Amino acid sequence: MRLLAVLCLILSLEAQAGFLLSSSEAERREQLACRPSMILGMMECEALPPPPPPPGNDPSIRPVEFVPNSGPGFGAVIDETPLNPYLDAVPARIKAGPFSLRWNIGFGVPGQWWEVWSNNQLRYRGRDFVAHRLNPPGQNSIDGTVIEAVQGGVFSVTLLEPGQHKWSIRLCNGTLKEPKCSESTAETWVDTSAYDASQPKPERPDVPQLAWTPPVTTDGVALLRWNIYWGNIGRQWEVLNHGKAIYRSTKFTDETEKSQEGQVELPLANGVYQLSVRLCLQSLCSESDKVTVEAMLGPEVAPAPPQARIFTAADPELGNGLAVGQVILSWQTAQASVAPDHWLLLDVDKRQVMFSQKITKTCSPGIWCGSWQGIPPERPANWVVKLCRAKQCVDSEVVEVPNE
């Protein structure tokens, strides 16, 4: 009778709670909920349902393939030309001293970096973008909303040297070797003293007269001469080919208050040219008659020698933006030149090419320029710029990279 009662109790508990297991067996099992039973050494257990799967994405969703950044220090390459930067008003004439350029783009494709060039010399390159408000306080806004540009920048120098400054703001994508840039330009004249608005307004220069020019050249050079025998003179002159400026100068071979002369030896690749001279005083210009010159049977002409210069962070005329330890190598041609197609930066001591770049356009009429910015691999060092047209190349003077 006693054994029968025990069996009945076990069956009763198993029907209510599930089943009985020894404590050692219960420890080996998973997905069980157990508690001590009325029978010594036995555990009263229940089987637990498996847990639901954790929430997750749809199995059809796959992560995109990782693509590492590329390009020389400017992040992933964007192969699209940015919108032209819009320059705030630049005064045509100012007094020597502090000076700032401000620019922005209100919409469109932004750039990865921006550059400031002055008279074909690189003054700044970097990604120091700043917020630029498009609507003045209280104007064109709703409830005081501030409308900011997509991108903007400010370049400042503490002392702008006297003379003419031709500014170029470039906003760029791509890579340093193959940049895709848009640009805006401005000019300003810096006086050593304050501008006197009471001075008489300038008069348009008289028309420059061309000297006789041979209609054919076979040595790759054409001598173009002009003069004003008597009349109003200018301060800048250009050579035009089919109406497009190919050379610009502020130098004259002879000059008085009422007369001027100028000349240039133009290197010409084989072809037909329609040349004229435009003489200007500020924005007032006069153009000479045109002369046709055919260049034929000439030699393969090399570009004009570049003039190179090294800038460091200690140079105050660079303005803001150059990191400590970096240098800027900037070069330009100083005389009339055939169009080069690429340039190279060489380490003279190691006889190694450090950098090369294609050239697609002039920096100003008849002037070619380029630059490199970075931390020199070694200091001191001696560098040379090599400027080439096909296989015809010419070197700059050696420039020394100073110690830090």
Q: Which of 53-67, 193-207, 223-237, 301-315 has the lowest mean pLDDT?
A: 53-67
Q: Write the Ramachandran bin of 108: left for phi over 0, alpha for psi from -120 to 50, otherwise beta.
A: left
Q: How big is the chain by its Cα radius of gyration, in Å?
A: 38
Tell me whether residue 73 is in a domain.
Answer: no
Provide the pLDDT for residue 347.
94
Q: What is the average pLDDT value for the chain, to the nearest integer?
A: 81
Q: Which of 127-136, 179-188, 208-217 has the lowest mean pLDDT?
A: 127-136
Both 288 and 313 in one domain: the answer is no
The CATH code of the domain that includes 272 is: 2.60.40.10
Q: Check pLDDT > 90 for residue 17.
A: no
Q: Check pLDDT > 60 for residue 285.
A: yes
Q: Check pLDDT > 90 for residue 279.
A: yes
Both 283 and 312 in one domain: the answer is no
Provide the pLDDT for residue 258.
92
* 377-394 pLDDT per residue, tens: 888 999 999 999 888 899
Comparison of pLDDT for 13 and 228, the residue scoring more: 228
Q: Provide the strand spans (E) within 18-107.
A: 19-22, 32-36, 42-47, 86-87, 93-95, 97-105
Domain termination residue (choose one: 157, 191, 225): 191
What is the Cα–Cα distance from 180 to 113, expressed in whole angstroms?
11
HSE-up (13 A, CA, CB side) for residue 352: 6
Per-residue pLDDT band for 55 (boundaries 50, 70, 90) equals: low
Q: Taking a C-beta distance cutoff of 8 angstroms, is the pair 369, 337 a contact? A: no
Q: Provide the strand spans (E) within 233-322.
A: 236-241, 244-249, 254-255, 260-267, 271-281, 284-287, 291-295, 306-312
Both 317 and 389 in one domain: the answer is yes
Tell me whether residue 75 is in a domain.
Answer: no
Both 187 and 240 in one domain: the answer is no
Q: Give residue for tokens 């570049």.
A: 306
How many domains does the structure of the chain reveal? Answer: 4
Both 19 and 91 in one domain: the answer is no
Provide the pLDDT for residue 293.
95
Comparison of pLDDT for 244 and 21, the residue scoring more: 244
Both 160 and 219 in one domain: the answer is no
Per-residue pLDDT band for 177 (boundaries 50, 70, 90) equals: confident
Both 108 and 158 in one domain: the answer is yes
CB-based contacts of 167, cutoff 8 Å, min separation 6: 90, 101, 116, 117, 118, 185, 186, 187, 188
Provide the pLDDT for residue 215.
94
Tell me whether residue 174 is in a domain.
Answer: yes
Task: Provide the Cα torsion 64, 70, 75, 80; round to 10°.
Answer: -90
Provide the pLDDT for residue 134.
66
What is the Cα–Cα distance from 349 to 172, expressed in whole angstroms?
33
Both 234 and 274 in one domain: the answer is yes
Provide the pLDDT for residue 346.
94
Q: Would you tell me how many other CB atoms lie within 10 Å of the CB of residue 278? A: 20
Question: What is the span of the domain harbouring residue 342?
Answer: 306-401
**What global pTM score does this model have?**
0.59
* CA nearest neighbour of 121 among 308, 351, 357: 308
Domain termination residue (choose one: 245, 275, 295): 295
Domain termination residue (choose one: 191, 222, 255): 191
Tell me whether residue 106 is in a domain.
Answer: yes
